[in-house]
Amino acid sequence: MPGFSEWLFGSEPKIKKKQAYTDQQMQFLNQLMGSLMGGGKGNFLDYYQNLLGGEGGQGDFENFAAPYRQQFENETIPMLAERFAGAGGGMGGALSSSGFGQSLSSAGGNFNAQLAQLFASLRQNAAGQMSNLAGLGLGAQPYMFTQQGANPGAWAQIGSAAMGAAGRGMGG
């Protein structure tokens, strides 16, 4: 309810700020932005920077590749060796043949290419996710602003009515 002075003399337009999200949505948005912008150890920004080649560079790829290389060495190489061991006569079969070396080289080359492609895909997905998360946080509009119109006040209305009456009286 306006005060007497505002009722009599009027008021300027007012802008009001209203929260557009629920309290839970605001809490989630604050947590998201905090983790994106560095809200402590282990935040999204650190994770994505490391994944995208931040400070680790080649070390990140080596950490990613280590378990896959171990699996290749423990499973694929022995499988190839078994195939060639039984292929030739004598002790060791065809393990000393150039065919075994070529198969091993080909398998290793394919493995490294696929591993590099997988890592590049992982990094590309991380960049897209980081962009999406940043867009979600930066595109949020948690508040709405409304403008309450100006109030001319009773005095202005009385003056306007008096001027109108005077104008009609003089013109008439």
Is 34 part of a structural domain of the chain?
yes
- According to the model, what pLDDT value does residue 97 have? 63
Is 6 part of a structural domain of the chain?
no
- According to the model, what pLDDT value does residue 45 have? 66
Is 1 part of a structural domain of the chain?
no
Place of tokens 């499988």: 79
Is 99 part of a structural domain of the chain?
yes
Amino acid making up residue 43: N
- According to the model, what pLDDT value does residue 2 have? 65
- According to the model, what pLDDT value does residue 60 have? 74
Sequence-distant contacts of 143-146: CB under 8 A, at least 24 apart: 143/17, 143/18, 143/19, 143/20, 144/17, 144/18, 144/19, 144/20, 145/15, 145/16, 145/17, 145/18, 146/15, 146/16, 146/18
Is 4 part of a structural domain of the chain?
no
pTM (2 d.p.):
0.47
- According to the model, what pLDDT value does residue 64 have? 82
Is 3 part of a structural domain of the chain?
no
Is 12 part of a structural domain of the chain?
no
Domain count, the chain: 1
Counting as low any pLDDT under 50, the low residues of the chain are 91
Range of the domain at 47: 17-171
**Cα separation, 93 vs 86, whole angstroms:** 6
Q: How far is CA 122 from CA 112, 118, 142, in A?
A: 15, 6, 32
Residues ≥6 apart with Cβ < 8 Å to 40: none
**Cα separation, 168 vs 159, whole angstroms:** 14
Is 80 part of a structural domain of the chain?
yes
